[in-house]
Chains A and B, each alone.
Chain A
């Protein structure tokens, strides 16, 4: 038996894109949000440095420059019509957030304060531009809190700690979802006219990651199982500045404020790799440069990490060398970057004001995901056919604005812009659509899968399988890839999938069975890891976050196209929407 609910619109996931969609949809139709976490636990809250919008509060800026930077950052794989929407609407979206009460930092004249960020430039001078609107270094936290506050104000209906485990798609029309109420273990069928998937990323495929334990890609994994494709899964971002060994993110805002990378010889090595943008080159470029230094024996003490240096006297030294009049002191750095300074003090036991910080690239963000159009409608295949009643936004989705590599701050722009567009479009759809019938048995497949795990008598430990998966992904599907590495990874993943069929869990109960839910999530991770490796193997070129040492150049003749990967591992492609910007060689 399952409990039954009916809503016009369902939003799955309560991070930035989900809450934005819910706020806008609930203005006109009966809407509910289903989230496996309390909304304020969502990983939007971990975003630090800022949200880009060409407000021009500090210096001249234009949304068209933001658009060009985004396309260039994406190594020309971004769909440029989507990028135009992103960058144009970023401006009103940020103003919208301010009006909702978001406590942005302010300029001396009371406007929203902005700062520099990787890859964001003045297109005329080619120098970094102050475009990232910020609330100290907890911008994502403030976005999440503000959107949740607005949802409370507007009486949005929440089902907190309900986890989606299946979707109801019949005859190409999405009709609802099936979720587990974690507190009781009971299944609930949510019958709806439309569903928005805003379930976030899947960084837990890797070991060294900035991602939360809960980021297991539940939405994209279920999409695959519904025989729908995922787009551009080979493009995964490794953020250059994770805390060594832990992967906890240190925002690019540190470098926006002047911090630099230093190798074992004390060199500011980014000057060699990106002569103009230097330490503010795009993330893929910085992460590769770090590992090139490590391979050249320039890692600290010969090991696999370098330093991020934000000691004020060093920052000032480099400002001076660059001919910049800017100067900082310890108080300024502490005010602008309080959280990440605390992370370093707590987790590394060192003070970044007096010591350089050991960092290494950390698995951070999925550029790929569930393919959508500009209104967040989910696409059924490479021809642009839409799955009726199904929407996706945020990191779970691929619209595609980030192309082969996302610029810093653009994830927050993405969630508010496309969360809002999706919410509005979904509400319009619900106003004219009818509820389509669902079967009394809609929950039985999910029930069978969960009972299968609960009652399995195998000998394999889910914890062990997860550990091995993450090890192989770190080793073979990381910053540098080759055919050989990807083939090894695929073989290992497939063998782990076989072992997964024979797992055993300890908790056989119903209430708060996280043993069961983690095992179910592991199934999602395995499917997504496979999709990532398969997509990476097929793309025999290097572009943005996907770097093939055996194919080190970008190949626009053969690969200026989006990958669509399916559950049986076959791949189809669709063209990139090119607009004003023809692909050129990328230099920072």
Chain B
């Protein structure tokens, strides 16, 4: 089928401000939006820039704003993206634009690092695995699916309004450890998250949950962290 692609372009070495590049290509309706971008890059304009790697929704490189909604370009098919023969692609919002669809991810990863996204447990673990029941394991399962693509954080109006807000992705990562029975760092993480730029900036808009390509119940997890702060209990 014929697809009209409208892609937000910006070359910092040439352009004063972003503009729309328009391209007509042939695509299969079962192709990914990423395939369409590759077609433009490989056959029309090699200077089109975007991040991509695995091409099947697991590496998290190609988060973009497609038709006004965040998605991974490799996990959205042409048939589901095309409206009246056209697809609009822009960089994700709220992070500094670098070139075409590439934004500076560093502020996003800085928020991620701020919540201590690693197991804290200073006890000698012994020679075998630590035991964890199936129920304890299931308690934090949802957050372990996160691929740090930033679809959630860059669709959040609170994050757009204030880039210092840690954002949904960092809270999901904190949740993954706070509710892990093996972890002992919850108090330190909650200390970060109780700050003005922590969980309370979440206004439960649910944009994050709607766009998560891993179907994580992001708003629910944020709610559980809020509850832990209010009740002082983690359960």
Contact = CB atoms under 8 A, between A and B. Distances in A.
Contacts of A112: 129
A509 interface: yes
B67 interface: no
A115 B59 CA distance: 25
B132 interface: yes
Interface stretch (B16-24, B42-50, B194-202, B223-231): B42-50
Contacts of A212: 53-55, 59
B211 to A, nearest CB: 15
A4 interface: no
Interface stretch (A94-102, A280-288, A529-537): A94-102
B105 A38 contact: yes
A6 interface: no
Interface string B111-131: 001001111010001011111
A104 B119 CA distance: 14
A95 B129 contact: yes
Interface residues of B, number: 60
B57 A43 contact: no
B191 interface: no
A107 B137 CA distance: 10
B56 A37 contact: no
A95 B46 contact: no
Nearest to B134: A106
A112 B129 CA distance: 7
Interface stretch (A146-154, A170-178, A402-410, A435-443): A146-154
Contacts of B105: 38
A90 interface: no
A248 interface: yes
Interface string B133-169: 1101100110011011000000000000000000000
B69 interface: no
A515 B50 CA distance: 10
A350 B109 CA distance: 36
A110 B56 contact: no
B59 A42 contact: yes
B99 interface: yes
A581 interface: no
B47 A214 contact: no
B81 interface: no
Interface in B17-73: 30, 32, 41-43, 45-47, 49-61
Q: For A94, A105, A213, A248, which residue has the most chain B Cβ atoms within 10 angstroms?
A: A213
Nearest to A245: B30
Q: For B60, B98, B99, B180, which residue has the most chain A Cβ atoms within 10 angstroms?
A: B99
Given A46-B58, A106-B134, A346 B77 contact: yes
B60 to A, nearest CB: 6
Contact of A95 (B109, B128, B131, B180): B128
A45 B46 contact: no
A588 interface: no
B182 interface: yes
A384 interface: no
Contacts of A320: none
B118 A141 contact: no
Contacts of A505: 46
B188 interface: no
A135 B13 contact: no
A237 B155 CA distance: 40
A339 B147 CA distance: 13
B35 to A, nearest CB: 10
Interface in A82-131: 94-95, 98-101, 103-112
A216 to B, nearest CB: 11
A317 interface: no
B65 to A, nearest CB: 18
Interface string A322-360: 000000000000000001000100111100000000000
Nearest to A515: B46
Contacts of A449: none
Contacts of B58: 45-46, 138, 141, 339
Contacts of A152: 113, 117-118
A219 interface: no
A510 interface: yes
Given A40-B60, A106-B132, A138-B145, A512 B102 contact: yes
Contacts of A94: 129
B55 to A, nearest CB: 6
A99 B125 contact: yes
A458 interface: no
Contacts of A106: 132-134, 136-137
Given A37-B53, A45-B58, A346-B77, A149 B46 contact: no
Given A37-B59, A106-B137, A463-B46, 14 more contacts: A43-B53, A98-B125, A100-B119, A109-B131, A138-B145, A149-B119, A343-B56, A347-B30, A509-B13, A509-B14, A511-B11, A512-B98, A515-B47, A518-B46
Interface of A: 37-38, 40-43, 45-46, 94-95, 98-101, 103-112, 135-136, 138, 141-142, 145, 149-150, 152-153, 183, 212-214, 246, 248, 339, 343, 346-349, 461-464, 466-467, 505-507, 509-515, 518
15 contacts: A38-B109, A40-B60, A40-B147, A95-B128, A98-B125, A106-B136, A109-B131, A112-B129, A136-B141, A138-B58, A152-B118, A347-B32, A463-B41, A510-B13, A513-B49
8 residue pairs, one from A and one from B, having the closest CB atoms: A101-B119, A463-B42, A110-B131, A506-B46, A507-B47, A149-B118, A515-B46, A153-B118
